[in-house]
Amino acid sequence: DLPFWNFFLFWSVTVSRRIVAISGATADDLRRCYRLPPAKISTVPLGVDPHFFELAARRRPEPFLLAVSTLHPHKNLDGLLRAFAVFRERHPEYRLVVSGIHGFFSAELHALRDRLHLADCVEFPGWIPREQLYSLYARAMAFLYPSLFEGFGLPVLEALAAGVPTGCSEIEPMNSIAGGAALKFDPRDLSAIAAVMHRLVNDGELRRRLAAAGPLRAAQFPWRTTAQGVLDALRDVAGLT
């Protein structure tokens, strides 16, 4: 797919009068990769589905960890599986559910799961209806997001809104999105990921703090603000401001 993406993205940024970037990190990438003038870019963060906030009040955690991600290589789900294998040596009662569209790395992840002898405790349900996704967030003991690169990281925001104790990669834009409402780790350090897993399930006080901090942090990202930011960019380009 890469040649097509390279062509169409270059064409799009060339002919567009304004680019709306979904995060500061994406705006930085646009400036670096396409040498765009800053005035051509408007940064408008995404928002979060308000239904996730309702989940926080009715969560009933079960012994499984959740990741929501397309199965692509840059999502670092192979690192997550290896860290989970280490974590499970001390917590054999736990499962891992990785929910998301089967992408370019699906076959490799299924093979790795088998090599690590995790076939009975790691699930890849693929795309699921929205109600089933809500149910996973409401029942997960903790949420992990080990991605190596992100444009925004919407599942992290959803987990925070739902009050799920969360650990994520210490990269932008997730640092800016999660703030102090999630534990951070170096996504290339398997021991660091496993250590965060241990803390998220063992430290009751930490879990309570993160469960309270998550919705407060996510509340700073309403879709109305996103819509207003896009509208403002359109009005500016049209000379209506």
- Nearest-angstrom CA–CA distance, 95 and 85: 10
Residue 117, Ramachandran bin (φ over 0: left; ψ between -120 and 50: alpha; else beta): left
Q: Which of 190, 138, 183 is nearest to 164 (CA)?
A: 138
How many Å is the maximal CA-CA distance in the chain? Answer: 61
- The pLDDT-based confidence of 183 (bands split at 50, 70, 90) is very high
Render pLDDT for 49-68 as a digit per residue (tens, 0 to 9): 999 999 999 999 999 999 99
Cβ distance 23 to 173 under 8 Å? yes
Render pLDDT for 58-111 as a digit per residue (tens, 0 to 9): 999 999 999 999 999 999 999 999 999 999 999 999 999 999 999 999 999 999
- The pLDDT-based confidence of 11 (bands split at 50, 70, 90) is very high
In this model, does residue 241 exceed pLDDT 80?
A: no
Distance linking the first and last C-alpha atoms of the chain: 39
pTM above 0.85, yes or no: yes
